[in-house]
Chain A
Amino acid sequence: MRLKLVPQETNWDFFSRPKLWLGISVVLIVLAFVSFGLRGLNYGIDFRGGTTIRTESAQPVDVGAYRDALTPLELGDVVISEVFDPTFDADQNVAMVRIQAQEGQESVTAEVVAQVEAALQSVASDIRFVSVESVGPKVSGELIQTAAIAVVLAIAAVLVYIWLRFEWQFALGAVAALVHDVILTIGVFSELQIKFDLAIIAALLTIVGYSLNDTVVVFDRVRENLMKFKKRPLREVLNLSINETLSRTFMTSLTTLLALIALFVLGGDVIRGFVFAMIWGVVVGTYSSIFVASTVLLMLGVKRDWSKSQDTTGNQFGNVDA
């Protein structure tokens, strides 16, 4: 007896309400923009500069007392938050202290860190500083720039690759899905105010890769079916292709999610935000490859006469599967 996520034969109509699906996506994108505009991202020090200190003590964390101890130092914006995690031991109380970048300094000076440490020590005598990280405003500005470049570059490279391997309509469909995923991910991060740092950029790019993976598998089948059923309407061919690959789409998404959820629960708080981004990306990416990429492809239409193009144009990079 086999585990089956979807029936052997499916014949669901994914395009019965194209406007509804696109509408949902558009609404979500608008919401993401609104959230981004109103709340903004909770940038980590990688992107805004400043210092974070991670403390550990056997005594429970008293955020108020920590704040009182640091106020006299006049360090500007100081954020203190307690960290909870199921992987911590019973007497492991962790807090994060974030200090803004100080005026006119490239990096927080050792004196400031020493002052903060001394002040906290006066509140909790057994406190230990398990990590101290400072990023100067100069670097953080550059980091945000390279991060943006990385995301744009990745999307552009993919656009070109799919264009070469398929047709421009496919490339646009795939990129629409990618942009959709990236925007929704950023929206979730701004809405939930999860720390947005360099690792999240890596997660974003992985989402790009994953979402694409899904889209390409569907498109590959679309291309095959377009050659097989030359006369059937595009809508039917798309629907057939999605149905044929549906079982695989669910299998892969589920194994990936299984692995990611294990990491989310057990991997510790340091990478939880990163893993959350990827889980979200897998869910959104799976949705978008069916409902965004294919719908866009349906709306753009696609050239039907594939048999000729194959040997005359250079659109296909040789035939890899030959």
Chain B
Amino acid sequence: MLQIDLWKRVLIWALCAAGLFMALPNAFYSRVEGVNDARAAIELQGATAELTDQAAGWPSFLPASLVNLGLDLRGGAHLLAEVRVDEVYEARITALWPEVRDTLRPLRSEVGTIRRQNAPADELHVKIGNPAGMQAAMAAVRALAQPVVSLTAAGEQDLTVRGQDDVLIVSLSDAEKLATDERTVQQSLEIIRRRIDEVGTREPTIQRQGSDRILIQVPGLGSAQELKDIIGTTAQLTFQPVISRTTDGSTDAGIGEEVLPSLDESGVFYVLEENPVVTGEELTDAQPSFDQNGRPAVNFRFNPSGARKFGDYTAENIGNPFAIVLDDEVISAPVIQSHIPGGSGIITGNFTVEESTNLAVLLRAGALPAGLDFLEERTIGPELGADSIEAGKIATIVAFAAVLVFMALSYGLFGIFANVALILNIALIFGLLSLIGATLTLPGIAGIVLTVGMAVDANVLIFERIREELKTARGPARAIELGYEKALSAIVDANITTFITAVILFAVGSGPVRGFSITLGLGILTSVFTAIFVTRLIIVMWFERRRPKTIEV
């Protein structure tokens, strides 16, 4: 009758033991955390006596993965940034103009004069003198298009060219825009990750969200502003030809030109060609250094293609000034003294040592391909997190104790069996959370507390059923068996429906809500497991040993 195969018994206990084993490090949270930090440090910078001592604080044969604490429990900074993907279209279009110009020049006899016109940022409008030559002009410009580099848009071209009266309109094709967005966001993600890693904080979360958003969470950081400074909203370095220098900020810039202020001379503006000669993307290295006058400066070196462009440009423009532009401010505009062939140079300005060091870091990490808009920012102080953990701990313990006492009072011995399962249940939740590296948030703690309350439900269903069956069934063994059998469908239906809501919460929720859905979902799994298998096994083992003639539930 009440029989459970040996292998099942072994498996059930093994699973429980594994859960307890995985959950164990969480009972010694700060100690294991310190050990993990020390181990990571040893891996990174080699062992010192102090670190080795610290790393020995937790036996290496024990698991050391912990439940991550969410920002609301640990304190830190949270940012949701949107990448301005449109900016890249603009840069592409701007870069296209010289190419289009050079393509059309040889056809001048056919198309007449060519002039760039004002246009929306993501389109290039070229007015041609002779509208009859439009077909030829379009054909020539179309030849500039290249296949889109992406898996989903095979065979499509990156440019669309159309004519409108005497205006030739070039824009990026939709497939190219999609592919560009993808690249821009990936690149931004990578650069942000590198910059944050360079600061070296523990367990930052840097995730893509949706098509053009990036979620950044860094525990232990003082404020969201600090995080923004590290990411360096836009560190765009360009080298642009200088057309003129002026003190009038409202000077009209011609087409393909822009007016930018000087960084350290107030009231001075430069009119520059919009199209950069070289950009920061082609830098391979940047180091803080000092110029010949002993002032802080930054040394940089270009990659081969950047070096060639820079070399060619300096060779052709000796005696002309060119501007070093960082984030739309002219750092300096030296006059080119000679051909610079090696592809390396120095940026001087009124820097402090700290500024030049920061600038070098920013340049080395690479410029963000596009600007970021911050849609959401949160800073949670560590003390608030500590208070929340403390309150959550006490609440969980009290909730736990109340439920344990209540169950024992209501169901006697069987209640105690259910309590053993409940304790195992909590251990299993923590074990699973550590195993999958999930993050525990404050609502997540609420999820655990709710699980404590609801986990007994499956047992209650079974026990109530056993009580009912005792009235009619032949003997206690049969009643227990029937109780389990008949309660099962209610347990399964009730928990699947709750599980559905947990899954939906996980899918659409973010941050704390997601943390809640994880503990709720795991809690459902473990509570069904403990009710159906663990308490049953305990009851069967007790029954086999005692063989009671009557039982009271």
Chain A residues close to B by CB (< 8 Å): 2-5, 8, 54, 56, 87, 106-107, 110, 113, 128-136, 138-139, 146-147, 149-150, 153-154, 157-158, 161-162, 165, 198-199, 201-202, 205-206, 208-210, 212-214, 216-217, 219-221, 224, 244-245, 247-248, 251-252, 254-260, 262-263, 265-268, 270-271, 274-275, 278, 320-321
The answer to whether B513 touches A262, judged by C-beta atoms less than 8 angstroms apart, is no
The answer to whether A259 touches B508, judged by C-beta atoms less than 8 angstroms apart, is no
Given A132-B224, A320-B492, 17 new contacts (CB under 8 A):
A135-B376, A136-B374, A150-B509, A158-B497, A161-B496, A162-B497, A198-B511, A208-B501, A212-B494, A212-B501, A213-B457, A214-B494, A259-B453, A260-B449, A265-B395, A266-B394, A278-B446
**6 chain-A/chain-B pairs, Cβ below 8 angstroms:** A3-B410, A106-B82, A130-B384, A132-B377, A199-B513, A212-B501
Stretch at the interface among B8-16, B95-103, B330-338, B398-406: B398-406
Q: Give chain B nearest CB distance to A109 CB in angstroms.
A: 9
Assess whether B504 is interfacial by the CB under 8 Å rule: yes
Interchain CA distance A128-B446 in the complex, whole Å: 27
The answer to whether B406 touches A254, judged by C-beta atoms less than 8 angstroms apart, is yes
Q: Give chain A nearest CB distance to B553 CB in angstroms.
A: 9
Stretch at the interface among B28-36, B61-69, B460-468: B460-468
Name the prevailing secondary structure of the A interface residues. helix
Assess whether B488 is interfacial by the CB under 8 Å rule: yes
Which residue of chain A has its CB nearest to the CB of B553?
Answer: A2
The answer to whether B395 touches A267, judged by C-beta atoms less than 8 angstroms apart, is yes
Interchain CA distance A217-B491 in the complex, whole Å: 8
Q: Give chain B nearest CB distance to A260 CB in angstroms.
A: 6
B380-404 contact mask (Cβ, 8 Å, vs A): 1 or 0: 1101100110111011101110110
Assess whether B203 is interfacial by the CB under 8 Å rule: no
The answer to whether A201 touches B492, judged by C-beta atoms less than 8 angstroms apart, is no
Interchain CA distance A266-B411 in the complex, whole Å: 27
B349-360 contact mask (Cβ, 8 Å, vs A): 1 or 0: 000000000000
Assess whether B493 is interfacial by the CB under 8 Å rule: yes
Q: Contact check: which of A106, A113, A153, A248 meets B373 at CB < 8 Å? A: A106
Tell me the count of chain B residues lying within 8 A, CB to CB, of chain A: 80
The answer to whether B490 touches A221, judged by C-beta atoms less than 8 angstroms apart, is yes
Q: Give chain A nearest CB distance to B217 CB in angstroms.
A: 13
Interchain CA distance A134-B228 in the complex, whole Å: 14
Interchain CA distance A320-B485 in the complex, whole Å: 10
Q: Given A255-B456, A260-B453, check contact A274 B412 (CB 8 Å).
A: no
7 smallest beta-carbon distances between A and B, as pairs: A256-B453, A259-B453, A268-B391, A130-B381, A259-B399, A262-B399, A209-B498
The answer to whether A259 touches B403, judged by C-beta atoms less than 8 angstroms apart, is yes
Assess whether B232 is interfacial by the CB under 8 Å rule: no
The answer to whether A202 touches B464, judged by C-beta atoms less than 8 angstroms apart, is no
Q: Give chain B nearest CB distance to A123 CB in angstroms.
A: 19
Contacting residues, chain A, for B494 (C-beta < 8 A)? 212-214, 216-217, 220
Assess whether B47 is interfacial by the CB under 8 Å rule: no
Contacting residues, chain A, for B505 (C-beta < 8 A)? 150, 154, 202, 205
Contacting residues, chain B, for A259 (C-beta < 8 A)? 399-400, 402-403, 449-450, 452-453
Contacting residues, chain B, for A248 (C-beta < 8 A)? 457, 460-461, 464
Interchain CA distance A160-B406 in the complex, whole Å: 36
Q: Contact check: which of B378, B449, B454, B513 meets A213 at CB < 8 Å? A: B454
Assess whether B427 is interfacial by the CB under 8 Å rule: no
The answer to whether A266 touches B377, judged by C-beta atoms less than 8 angstroms apart, is no
Contacting residues, chain A, for B460 (C-beta < 8 A)? 248, 251-252, 255
B170-196 contact mask (Cβ, 8 Å, vs A): 1 or 0: 000000000000000000000000000
Assess whether B367 is interfacial by the CB under 8 Å rule: no
The answer to whether A266 touches B398, judged by C-beta atoms less than 8 angstroms apart, is yes
Assess whether B275 is interfacial by the CB under 8 Å rule: no
Q: Given A150-B508, A248-B460, check contact A217 B454 (CB 8 Å).
A: no
Assess whether B421 is interfacial by the CB under 8 Å rule: no
Q: Contact check: which of A129, A154, A255 meets B381 at CB < 8 Å? A: A129
Q: Contact check: which of A245, A258, A320 meets B489 at CB < 8 Å? A: A320
Q: Given A258-B406, A270-B72, check contact A278 B450 (CB 8 Å).
A: yes
The answer to whether A268 touches B388, judged by C-beta atoms less than 8 angstroms apart, is yes
Contacting residues, chain A, for B453 (C-beta < 8 A)? 252, 255-260
Q: Given A106-B375, A130-B380, A209-B497, check contact A256 B450 (CB 8 Å).
A: yes
Assess whether B502 is interfacial by the CB under 8 Å rule: yes
The answer to whether B493 touches A216, judged by C-beta atoms less than 8 angstroms apart, is yes
The answer to whether A244 touches B468, judged by C-beta atoms less than 8 angstroms apart, is yes
> Which of B412, B467, B512 neighbours the largest number of chain A CB atoms within 10 Å of its CB?
B512
The answer to whether A210 touches B498, judged by C-beta atoms less than 8 angstroms apart, is yes
The answer to whether B493 touches A165, judged by C-beta atoms less than 8 angstroms apart, is yes
Interchain CA distance A206-B502 in the complex, whole Å: 8
Assess whether B225 is interfacial by the CB under 8 Å rule: yes
The answer to whether B508 touches A206, judged by C-beta atoms less than 8 angstroms apart, is no
Interchain CA distance A307-B80 in the complex, whole Å: 56
Q: Give chain B nearest CB distance to A3 CB in angstroms.
A: 4
Assess whether B443 is interfacial by the CB under 8 Å rule: yes
Interchain CA distance A219-B494 in the complex, whole Å: 10
Q: Give chain B nearest CB distance to A267 CB in angstroms.
A: 4
Contacting residues, chain B, for A257 (C-beta < 8 A)? 453
Interchain CA distance A244-B384 in the complex, whole Å: 47
Q: Given A107-B374, A158-B501, check contact A87 B399 (CB 8 Å).
A: no
Contacting residues, chain B, for A265 (C-beta < 8 A)? 395
The answer to whether B517 touches A202, judged by C-beta atoms less than 8 angstroms apart, is yes
Interchain CA distance A27-B178 in the complex, whole Å: 53
Assess whether B516 is interfacial by the CB under 8 Å rule: yes
Q: Give chain B nearest CB distance to A150 CB in angstroms.
A: 4
Interchain CA distance A209-B497 in the complex, whole Å: 6
Q: Give chain B nearest CB distance to A165 CB in angstroms.
A: 6
Which residue of chain B has its CB nearest to the CB of A46?
Answer: B376
The answer to whether A132 touches B411, judged by C-beta atoms less than 8 angstroms apart, is no
Which residue of chain B has its CB nearest to the CB of A212?
Answer: B497
Q: Given A110-B225, A263-B399, A268-B391, check contact A132 B379 (CB 8 Å).
A: yes
B217-240 contact mask (Cβ, 8 Å, vs A): 1 or 0: 000000111001000000000000
The answer to whether B497 touches A161, judged by C-beta atoms less than 8 angstroms apart, is yes
Contacting residues, chain B, for A129 (C-beta < 8 A)? 379, 381
The answer to whether A262 touches B392, judged by C-beta atoms less than 8 angstroms apart, is no
Q: Contact check: which of B82, B406, B488 meets A255 at CB < 8 Å? A: B406
Q: Given A107-B374, A162-B497, A271-B443, check contact A149 B508 (CB 8 Å).
A: yes
Q: Contact check: which of B72, B225, B446, B496 meets A275 at CB < 8 Å? A: B446
Interchain CA distance A128-B224 in the complex, whole Å: 16
Q: Contact check: which of A198, A208, A212, A262 meets B512 at CB < 8 Å? A: A198
Interchain CA distance A278-B381 in the complex, whole Å: 27
The answer to whether B409 touches A2, judged by C-beta atoms less than 8 angstroms apart, is yes
B327-348 contact mask (Cβ, 8 Å, vs A): 1 or 0: 0000000000000000000000
Q: Give chain A nearest CB distance to B96 CB in angstroms.
A: 30
The answer to whether B500 touches A157, judged by C-beta atoms less than 8 angstroms apart, is yes
Contacting residues, chain A, for B388 (C-beta < 8 A)? 268, 270-271
Assess whether B547 is interfacial by the CB under 8 Å rule: no
